[in-house]
Amino acid sequence: MPAFLIADVDVKDPYAYEAYKAANPAIVRKFGGRYIARGGAVKVLEGDWQPRRAIVIEFPDMAAVDAFYDSPEYTNLRKIRHQSADSRLVVMETLEVPIE
């Protein structure tokens, strides 16, 4: 079942982060992922969460997310993200049967 990688990224070094942002889509596609949202406007409706840059990526399943995240290509790229931004990432499986 599809899985969503959800990221909240607070960019500290925009110049370095641009290298990450430019290279990441090809790696996402390699593992069957597609961007649902990337850096658009965010509106908080409730709570104290204040996401800076929100990203949502859909992958075919949790195994594809793991393959992406642990791949040599992304491992190298992840180092750039860690140096240029503070990030929080979660992965969430979709429902097998939608709630009515």
Q: What's the pLDDT score for residue 39?
A: 85
Spell out the per-residue pLDDT of the chain, length 100, in tens.
999 999 999 999 999 999 999 999 999 999 999 999 998 888 999 999 989 999 999 999 999 999 999 999 999 999 999 999 999 999 999 987 767 7
CATH architecture of the domain with residue range 3-93: 2-Layer Sandwich (3.30)
Query: pTM for this structure?
Result: 0.90
Q: Tell me the domain boundaries of the chain.
A: 3-93
List residues bridging with 37 in a β-sheet: 56
pLDDT at 96: 75
Task: Look at residue 40 in the predicted model and tell me its pLDDT.
Answer: 85
